[in-house]
Amino acid sequence: MVHETLRYRSLATLVESLGQAGFVVAEVWGDWDREELAEDSPEIIILAQKLPDPPSEEPQAAE
């Protein structure tokens, strides 16, 4: 028998992790019906968008 442990993360931790990965949170819901997130919500559903990469700071070639 294989035992697996699930690890639950808080909303704050999820938002922080997404930010560190270059995402911004657009919406948060408490279930798949898009109900408002509450303390007793069965899920944390997050809609996140990837932020554009900043322009590179490579030196420009002389003409």
Reported as a single tens digit per residue, the pLDDT across 8-41 is 899 999 999 999 999 999 999 999 999 999 999 9
Which residues share a beta bridge with 25? 48
Q: How much is the pLDDT for 62?
A: 63
pTM of the model: 0.72
| DSSP reduced 3-state for 44 | coil
Q: How much is the pLDDT for 61?
A: 65
Q: Does the pLDDT at position 55 exceed 70?
A: yes
H/E element holding 47?
strand 45-50
Q: Does the pLDDT at position 63 exceed 70?
A: no
Cα–Cα distances (Å) from 57 to 53, 54, 61, in that order, read 12, 9, 12
Residue type, 30: G
How many other C-beta atoms are found inside a 10 Å radius of the C-beta of residue 41? 15
